[in-house]
Structure 1
Amino acid sequence: MATSSSQTLALQRNSSEQNRFMEKLMTKICSFYDEQSLIDVTFKVSNPTALVPAHRLILAAASPYFENLFNGNQGTNPVIEINDIDSDIFEHLITFCYTGQALITVNNLASMLNAAMVLQLDDAISSIVDYLMAHIDEYTLRGAYTLERETQCEHLKQNIIEYETKNFMEISRSDEFLNFDVEKLQRILVSDNLNITREEDAFDAIKRWYNYDVPARQEQLPLLIACLRLTQFNMDFLMTHIQPLPGCELLAFKALSWIREPLARPHINMQFTEPRGISASNCGEKTILALCSERNPKLLQYNKTEDKWQEYASIKIGYDRYRTILKDDNLLFIGGYNGATYNIVRCWNIRNKTWQNLPAMIEARREHCVVELDDKIYAIGGFGSNNYLSSVERYSTSDGWKFVNSLIDTRFCSRAVTLNAKIYAMGGYKKNNPIKSVEYYNPDLDTWTSCADMKICHSSPGVAAHNGLIYVVSRCGAERYDPQQDTWSQICSLEVGDGYISCVSLDNKLWTIGGKSKSAGSSCVSVFDEENFCWVEKCSFPESDVRSCFVVPESLLSSM
């Protein structure tokens, strides 16, 4: 019988002496097994018939199945029959009891998992599931789904959910996704770690699942829509996409109220109000990343807590007049100029601060527009090698760069933004003349359509989609566009002088970064106060030349 002192010593695994002792002991036990020495039980296993010798003490310590077996009625028999496990699989798992390792292959892992569950070998189950997930492409996701249904293995189930969460965009396009039950889909959608670029991706996946069998899934639809971070949608999206869905009217109303009435938020009962985040420690908080100057730009990060800017990284590029877009965890530098106009596309990883070259555009461009819509990147207009451009090309990972329909007007030094699944291009120059014209692109129809002209000519302004409207801000003035009414209205001007201005929508507020403050004499950061219809200056901006800004998760910059 073990004494308390011997139990304490057995738990002291940190000392080198104890580790050496345990290694020596396990080596001796394994040699007894290999030499079939001091064997006290033999298993008779079928398919094909084989005798597998072992030591009761080792097996009982490794598995409650064997512990209960040896304490049962036939536990003292020198030979015990096992009828429901093939002999080679059984022998692999007996070896695991001694060594913690087993020969797992794609071909035998289903049988190994079934047997490990029968024998209650939890560590073996973990090893088998880990092997399966590491070889998921070879085993196939469909095979994993089938095995999980057959075995009801909770460890496999959790690993599949983690895989689905991480690879949601790919999974949501598969045929298997259409047959997910609502409980499974809920478990995925509620995850704060759901790997999507924007909340609309999750909405699109729900609509695809719902449209596969509308009559049977109509009552379940509100359960899934409630899993979305509804407050991250703009008001127009909520009204045109969420509110018309059967059973989702109240969900849309709550989200609209939450956005419109900040003071009422404590009284609005919503399951999720914060954006998705990578970890609980940052609660999904987002911040602003600003790209300053061009040839050797700096990246500045906004610290919301201290209301100040700090340098995140310096980037060496060596050319200018490119356009930049945020794509997942990367900044894409598209086109540019250095004595000649470029068609190159370079990718800079924000987290790792490393470069990668991507496929070049068909046409060289500078001072153009770039936007992302539905996981595709668009390069719009600009100036080519020796001509003004109206051409537009689109990049996808499957098709590379391809031309789509051209702009109605040639334009460069313009800006573009996406809203309601459309691309809006506005302002800039047509040849040498500033223009007020605006047009939008419908990717479903591959057409550009003219919109109402802006009130003011803007060249390289700051633009942002915010709460269902498009805002355009430059030192010449500020205005906003209502796509439902096709009308522009001027708002109070930002009191700034020379300098580029960028706009972003963060925390349900419209922010501008850049432009020299007339009061402070330095570049500034301002937030639009919609209730009082005025701009409120925040902290000063330490650089004089801001080229573009992006809203990113704070966790993306945590390595700083």
Structure 2
Amino acid sequence: MSLVTGVLEPTLTIETQTDFYVSLKMSRQTQVIPKHTRVYEELWHKKIFCDAVLKVEDVEFPVHKIILCGASDFFRAMFVNWGNHSEKNFQLGGVSAEILSLLLEWICNKPAGLLSTDNVQDVILAADMLLLEDLVELSFDFMLSHMSAENCIGIWKFSAVVVSTRIRDAARRFILHNFEQLSVCEEFYDLTAQELLDFIGEDQLNIKNESDVYQAVVRWVNHDHPRRRGEFSQLLAKVRFSQISEDFLQHHIFTNPMMYTDFECVNTVARITPARPRLPAAILLAIGGWSGGDPTNCIEAYDYNADCWINVTNNEERPRAYHGSVFLNGSVYCVGGFDRIEHFNSMRRLDLATRTWHEMPPMYSRRCYISVVVLNGCIYAMGGYNGTRRQNTAEVYNPQTNQWSLIAPMNEQRSDASCATLNGKIYICGGFNGTEVLQTAECYDPQTNEWTMITPMTVRRSGVAAVTYHNRIYAVGGFDGVERLRSVECYNTRTNSWQPVASMITTRSNFGIEVLNDRIFVAGGYNGFTTTYNAESYDRLTDTWSDVCDMDVFRSALNCCVIYGLTNMADYTIPRDALTAFVSYDTDEEST
């Protein structure tokens, strides 16, 4: 039995097969192996003192009863309870000779290369039957580390056979999160109508456009049209047509011949009513800032599918502004900043699963107006103001060691700068050096621990916001020393040049920025006259900015980050039941 249908490629977020084997090998090498275990291995390989024979198919396996009894209650029961103690020959069913050979080798030697994508399901079934619980869990971990769009449905179905809620839940989350990719894979067509209904009815289904759901349904029906056409109208009822563009409805749905072979299909689409949006795959958090003359601890979460902000503030955290914030390993880290009294060198971690704050190791330096970014699983903090002077120093936090380390200083002193990562390097631009607003930009290579100046921006920018978007570094807004800016430019690493793009609707400096749902979002800031709460987004395909829902709290000196992949994502969105009630109310109003 094979784990995959088609080509297997591990996902980017889970370790590869090679890494998995290496980690097992390293783990084994660092273990202190007891003397008796080494003796057992020697006896096993030399077949000395074997006192039983396991027979599977036509193959015999000489074994040591004492070793197998220590490894499994199944073998203990077989040798102790199922016959007299002098019996040597035992017949095993339900497992192949090839798989039993692997399992016996694992019991004695725990080899790193035991599992493969072709044998892991058979190993799990046999190990489960023989009560080798550690091997079952190891195999489950291997299976999860190799889950992909091509095989996740097969893993999900397999989990029902072995009754593993851990695997089933993980595979289900993977299916919902990667529905668009897997809906064009061969395994997709193995879903039953009821299984497909359940998936497309979920709020957690992650899709860019609701039209993708409709197209997936059409592909599934057409794969076996004679047998499945009767399911079409039932599946259509789960498609949220009110969130599909009128153009797509007119040119792709209303023109589909299948729509007119079943009255229920026509009726389903004809009575389009408002439907609640699905849960977003990612959430934008706007954290802290300066509001009403004081710093704030407010955290608002932007739900782009519902185009609304909700307040998710945890009042355990003290207010801070001019800080940095990043998302890493399921937590948000807030770094540095200022509370009107103190310039912080502290770092605080918000565990998004428990919604609790934790104190983390402090930085070497106090840093207000800081630039912070994540690269290769580490947090980099650069520049800032310590209450006395603008800094060119930089440092990095490694979660594995839970420590900060100094790295090479920048070429320029920079506070109120902004940074982003691209192709394994950090790019920082603009800022203020204590004397003038900067136009310069530079690049850090962690491989060489060196900063290199790059082509300056076209204008000076302090309080600028930088972000990576489609292989470009975008420098947005800021203050040029005279006025607040709404201009935007992007940096091409291949040509080492900056190019202008469409300007924002609103002038702003010291605002939040992030990429979400393939758009650049900006929120808050200072517009030259007042602190603002408005937000807007940029679409590179149309080179235009458009307004989005305003935050509830007006503030500047905030910082934004995007969170994703949480099991409790719904905690950071507007409740869908509330949206259902709102939609029903709107529908009732229209009907009256």
TM-score where L is the length of structure 1: 0.53
Structure 1 equivalent of residue 434 of structure 2: 431
Question: Alpha-carbon deviation of 1:416?
Answer: 0.7
Question: Alpha-carbon deviation of 1:477?
Answer: 2.3
Structure 1 equivalent of residue 495 of structure 2: 485
Structure 1 equivalent of residue 561 of structure 2: 550
Structure 1 equivalent of residue 92 of structure 2: 118
8 Å contact kept, 2:455–2:496: yes
Structure 1 equivalent of residue 383 of structure 2: 381
Residue 442 of structure 2 aligns with an amino acid whose one-letter code is: E
8 Å contact kept, 1:93–1:116: no
Question: Alpha-carbon deviation of 1:499?
Answer: 6.3
RMSD: 4.8
Q: How far apart are the structure 2 equivalents of 1:374 and 1:506?
A: 20
8 Å contact kept, 1:473–1:501: no
Structure 2 equivalent of residue 401 of structure 1: 404
Residue aligned with 2:561, SS: strand
Question: Alpha-carbon deviation of 1:407?
Answer: 0.6
Structure 1 equivalent of residue 519 of structure 2: 509
Q: How far apart are the structure 2 equivalents of 1:538 and 1:402?
A: 40
Q: How far apart are the structure 2 equivalents of 1:405 and 1:290?
A: 30
8 Å contact kept, 1:514–1:523: yes
Question: Alpha-carbon deviation of 1:159?
Answer: 4.3
**Rg larger in 1 or in 2?**
1
Residue 525 of structure 1 aligns with an amino acid whose one-letter code is: A
8 Å contact kept, 2:284–2:301: yes
Residue 353 of structure 1 aligns with an amino acid whose one-letter code is: R
CA deviations 1:72-91 (Å, max 9, x no partner) are xxxxxxxxxx9956445469
Q: Is 1:365 aligned to residue 367 of structure 2?
A: yes
CA gap of 1:149–1:480, structure 2 versus 1, over 3 A, is same
Structure 2 equivalent of residue 329 of structure 1: 330
Question: Alpha-carbon deviation of 1:355?
Answer: 2.4
Q: Which structure features the higher share of strand residues?
A: 1
CA gap of 1:333–1:166, structure 2 versus 1, over 3 A, is farther
Residue 93 of structure 1 aligns with an amino acid whose one-letter code is: F
Structure 2 equivalent of residue 343 of structure 1: 345
8 Å contact kept, 1:329–1:349: yes
8 Å contact kept, 2:323–2:559: no
Q: How far apart are the structure 2 equivalents of 1:382 and 1:471?
A: 20
Residue aligned with 2:498, SS: strand
Q: How far apart are the structure 2 equivalents of 1:83 and 1:437?
A: 72
Q: How far apart are the structure 2 equivalents of 1:477 and 1:493?
A: 5
Q: How far apart are the structure 2 equivalents of 1:346 and 1:139?
A: 44
Question: Alpha-carbon deviation of 1:415?
Answer: 0.7
8 Å contact kept, 2:438–2:460: yes
Among 526, 535, 538, the alignment partner of 1:528 is 538
Structure 1 equivalent of residue 282 of structure 2: 286
CA deviations 1:320-347 (Å, max 9, x no partner) are 3432221121111222345343322221
Q: How far apart are the structure 2 equivalents of 1:426 and 1:384?
A: 19
Q: How far apart are the structure 2 equivalents of 1:304 and 1:533?
A: 19
Q: How far apart are the structure 2 equivalents of 1:349 and 1:141?
A: 36
Q: How far apart are the structure 1 equivalents of 2:458 and 2:539?
A: 21
TM-score where L is the length of structure 2: 0.51
Q: How far apart are the structure 2 equivalents of 1:84 and 1:433?
A: 81
Structure 1 equivalent of residue 267 of structure 2: none
Q: Is 1:448 aligned to residue 451 of structure 2?
A: yes
CA gap of 1:161–1:84, structure 2 versus 1, over 3 A, is closer
Residue aligned with 1:434, SS: coil
Q: How far apart are the structure 2 equivalents of 1:308 and 1:482?
A: 31
CA gap of 1:307–1:158, structure 2 versus 1, over 3 A, is farther
Residue 417 of structure 1 aligns with an amino acid whose one-letter code is: A
Question: Alpha-carbon deviation of 1:397?
Answer: 3.7
CA gap of 1:316–1:545, structure 2 versus 1, over 3 A, is farther
CA gap of 1:158–1:150, structure 2 versus 1, over 3 A, is closer
Question: Alpha-carbon deviation of 1:291?
Answer: 1.5
Question: Alpha-carbon deviation of 1:445?
Answer: 1.9
CA deviations 1:478-537 (Å, max 9, x no partner) are 22223222222333322325664222222222222224799xx96322222434432111
CA deviations 1:145-177 (Å, max 9, x no partner) are 59x989962345874454246679xxxxxxxxx
Q: How far apart are the structure 2 equivalents of 1:496 and 1:116?
A: 80
Q: How far apart are the structure 2 equivalents of 1:552 and 1:418?
A: 17
Residue 463 of structure 1 aligns with an amino acid whose one-letter code is: A
CA deviations 1:464-484 (Å, max 9, x no partner) are 111111212224122222322
Question: Alpha-carbon deviation of 1:435?
Answer: 1.2
8 Å contact kept, 1:463–1:502: no
Identity of aligned residues (%): 17
Q: How far apart are the structure 2 equivalents of 1:476 and 1:117?
A: 81
CA deviations 1:389-440 (Å, max 9, x no partner) are 1111122245632222111110101111111211111111011321111111
In structure 2, the gaps of 5 or more residues are 1-47, 82-88, 128-134, 147-169, 175-207, 209-247, 253-276, 478-483, 573-592
Q: How far apart are the structure 2 equivalents of 1:296 and 1:141?
A: 55
CA deviations 1:264-295 (Å, max 9, x no partner) are xx9xxxxxxxxxxxxxx989822322224365
Q: How does 1:448-487 map to 2 (within 5 A)?
A: 448-474=451-477, 475-483=484-492, 484-487=494-497
In structure 1, the gaps of 5 or more residues are 1-45, 51-64, 69-81, 101-114, 169-189, 195-230, 232-262, 267-280
Q: How far apart are the structure 1 equivalents of 2:306 and 2:538?
A: 20
CA gap of 1:117–1:480, structure 2 versus 1, over 3 A, is farther
Structure 1 equivalent of residue 141 of structure 2: 163
